[in-house]
Amino acid sequence: MITKAVIPAAGFGTRFLPATKASPKEMLPIVDTPVIQYVVEEAVASGITDILMVIGKGKRTLEEHFDRSFELELELEAKGKLKELASIRAISELANIHFVWQRKMLGLGDAIRCARHHVGDEPFAVLLGDTLMQSLDGVPATRQLMDVHDRFGGCVVALEEVPPERVSRYGVIDGDALDDRTYRVRDMVEKPAPADAPSNLVVASRYILTPDIFSFIDAAPPGKNGEIQITDALRARIADGRPMHGCRVRARRHDAGNTLDFIKTNILYALQHADIASALADFIIEKADELRGGERL
C-alpha cells in the first residue's frame, strides 16, 4: 500500500518574476488557495498520509503554510471568525508533511533523489508542485495511478492525450494499449518533433515510482545545465527489462507554472465558487462583447 508522496517544489519560478522573487510559485493563489495546497489535497484524497516536499532557497513560506499559526488562530477566535479558523487549522492537519532541501537546482531526477532516505524501500507517489490535476469523475489522478500499480506493480506515469502539434513540449511514450486507459510503456522520448513522436500520449506530472529508481537516477548522465532528468532514469529502467505502465488519467491538467495557464486556471476555478461565479461570468461576457465590438488586443 502506497502511503508516501514526494512533491518537488524547489524551482525558482522564473516565468513569474517579479512575483516569485520573494514568494514561491507554488504559493501563488488559485482564487483563494495556494497551488501547493491543491496538490497536497490531491495526495491526501488518494490515501497518502506522509508527504515529503523537496524545497530550495526562498521556500520557507511553504513550511510556514503547512505549520500552525497560533497568533492568527487566536486572532480569528477572538473575532468570532470560526469558519476561517477551522479552514486554517485544517491545513496543518492534512498529512504528516516533511521538508528536505535540494541544495542545487539539478533537475527533477535529482529532486526525487533527495527523497531516498525518506521513502526507504517503499513505492511512492510523485506530484509536481506547480501542476493541478482536476478529477473528472471524483477519483484523484494519483489514486488512479495507484490503482494501476496495484494491478501491475512497477512504475506508473500519468498520461494525457494532446494534439500532435503540442507533443514537442512534453515527454512522450511509445507503448501498447492494455485497455482503454492503461498502456505498457516500451520507451519514452523527451520533447520530440511532431513528425518523430511515437504517439500523442504525454507524461502528465504524476508518477508512481518504486525504490529501484534511485539506482537508475544515480547512473543517469547529466544533461543540459548538468540536470538529471527522471525521463532518462525511467528509460534506463525500461531498458533493464523492468515493467512500466502508463494510465491515461480521467483528469484535466492545469499547468500553473506559466502565466497564461495560471490565469486560465484561476478563471476556471473561480467559476466553481458559488459566491463569485455569476458576477465573474457576467464580467467575462461583458469583456468578450467589448472585444467583438472593437479591435482584438
pLDDT surpassing 60 at residue 296: no
pLDDT surpassing 80 at residue 297: no
pLDDT tens digits, residue range 52-90?
999 987 788 899 999 989 999 999 999 999 999 999 999
Task: State the Cα–Cα distance between residues 38 and 137, nearest whole angstrom.
Answer: 17
pLDDT reported for residue 110 = 94
E-strand ranges in the chain read 4-9, 29-30, 33-34, 50-55, 96-101, 124-127, 131-135, 155-161, 171-177, 182-190, 201-209, 244-248, 251-255
Mean pLDDT for the stretch of residues 184-208: 92
Mean pLDDT for the stretch of residues 261-266: 92
pLDDT tens digits, residue range 208-247?
999 999 999 999 988 878 889 999 999 999 999 999 999 9
pLDDT tens digits, residue range 156-175?
999 999 998 889 888 899 99
Domains of the chain (ranges plus CATH)? Answer: 4-280 (3.90.550.10)
Stated pTM of the model? 0.92
Q: In this prediction, what percent of the chain has a pLDDT beyond 90? A: 72
Residues β-bridged to residue 70: none
| pLDDT class of 15 with cuts at 50, 70, 90 | confident
pLDDT reported for residue 289 = 86
pLDDT reported for residue 60 = 85
